[in-house]
Amino acid sequence: HKHLLGLKGMDGKEISDILDRAAYWEQHPTKVTNVLGGKFVANMFFENSTRTRFSFEVAEKRLGVQVLNFAAAASSVQKGESIYDTVRTLESMGIDAGVIRLKPNGVLQELAERIQVPLINAGDGNNEHPTQALLDLYTMRKHFGELKGLHVAIIGDIQHSRVARSNLWALQAVGAKVSFCAPDMMKAPELEAHAPYVTMDEALKADVVMMLRVQLERHDNALFTSADEYRAQYGLTVERLGQMPPHAIIMHPAPVNRNVEIDDELVEHDRSKIFTQMSNGVPIRMAVIERALS
Ligand code: CP
């Protein structure tokens, strides 16, 4: 069945097919259809979310799906029930698919082997966030016309970033080039074999400058001396925008730490795609839900 656990190993054709189907939905902005009428999908978020959770819900409702929203904080998880027993419970009630976000790494694969209904990864630990990368590729393809040959620099907290990993696998599958830029303590050593780490000056020459949120909640110790220090060394400042080629665009998966990894003035700048990325999350998730249920 059609789980979507990650983009590692997915070929360029399958990625393009999902983007094409999202383009179809973007061109057919009918608020609500009945394409998947009668289907039930549970959104199971064991970790907080705004964009992913609500864009899945909008996508499901636009497809005519009956939506069950599960929030761990208001569930029997608080009594110690496991992730497996929770998902198995919803499956036993007859859901047709589950969208799931998890804090730990390595749990989703095992879960998917024991659950019959398709599971869609809405972010698991620092492993993958496939629908985020798909909406990112969709945004880039729409802006530049094609992905092959594009240079994407991903800057910031690579170590904790499932967004960086999913983008790396997907971008390389479609023939784009990826570079990373991060302070030593935010590098992911296991990714060094897949993409080079470059300096900030080098990263700013890319066609796409993708900034990542400094994930304060996942760092044990203070990240640097201060947020100002991080901004000075790795932030996309108004001054650094001047180093980017005129055709280059700014991206960020959000939520944004304004004036830490990106200056306040750049979040809604003409060159920024940050809110466009959020809009594109809806048609991408419509395509992904359809793929899971068809
Ligand atoms: N980009 C993203 O995944 O945002 P949320 O955590 O708000 O879903």
Whether 7 is covered by a domain: the verdict is: no
Do 103 and 165 belong together in one domain? no
62 labelled ligand-binding: no
- Reading the chain (294 residues) residue by residue, the pLDDT tens digits are 589 999 999 999 999 999 999 999 999 988 999 999 999 999 999 999 999 999 999 999 999 999 999 988 889 999 999 999 999 999 999 999 999 999 999 999 999 999 999 999 999 999 999 999 999 999 999 999 999 999 999 999 999 999 999 999 999 999 999 999 999 999 999 999 999 999 999 999 999 999 999 876 666 555 556 788 899 999 999 999 999 999 999 999 999 999 999 999 999 999 999 999 999 999 999 999 999 998
Answer whether 109 contacts ligand 1 (Cβ < 6 A): no
Instruction: Report the C-alpha gap between 160 and 148 in whole angstroms.
Output: 27
CATH number, domain at 50? 3.40.50.1370
Whether 5 is covered by a domain: the verdict is: no
The reply to whether omega before 196 is within 30° of 0 (cis) is: no
Instruction: Report the C-alpha gap between 210 and 117 in whole angstroms.
Output: 34
- Structural domain of residue 51, as residue ranges? 12-125+278-293
Do 80 and 139 belong together in one domain? no
Question: Which of 46, 52, 129 is the best mutation target for the ligand 1 pocket, counting ligand atoms within 8 Å of the beta carbon and taking the most?
Answer: 52
Instruction: Report the C-alpha gap between 260 and 268 in whole angstroms.
Output: 15
Instruction: Ligand 1, residue 47: give the atom nearest the CA.
Output: 6
Whether 241 is covered by a domain: the verdict is: yes
Question: Which of 43, 50, 57 is the best mutation target for the ligand 1 pocket, counting ligand atoms within 8 Å of the beta carbon and taking the most?
Answer: 50
Q: Going along 103-235, which residue ranges are E strands? A: 119-124, 151-155, 177-181, 208-211
Provide the whole-model pTM.
0.97
Answer whether 256 contacts ligand 1 (Cβ < 6 A): no
Structure tokens at 202: 């080098």
Number of domains in the chain: 2
Instruction: Ligand 1, residue 254: give the atom nearest the CA.
Output: 1
Do 182 and 81 belong together in one domain? no
Answer whether 89 contacts ligand 1 (Cβ < 6 A): no
Do 67 and 139 belong together in one domain? no
Instruction: Report the C-alpha gap between 219 and 161 in whole angstroms.
Output: 12
Do 64 and 79 belong together in one domain? yes
Q: ipTM for the complex?
A: 0.98
Q: Going along the chain, which residue ranges are E strands? A: 40-45, 66-71, 97-102, 119-124, 151-155, 177-181, 208-211, 249-251
254 labelled ligand-binding: yes
188 labelled ligand-binding: no
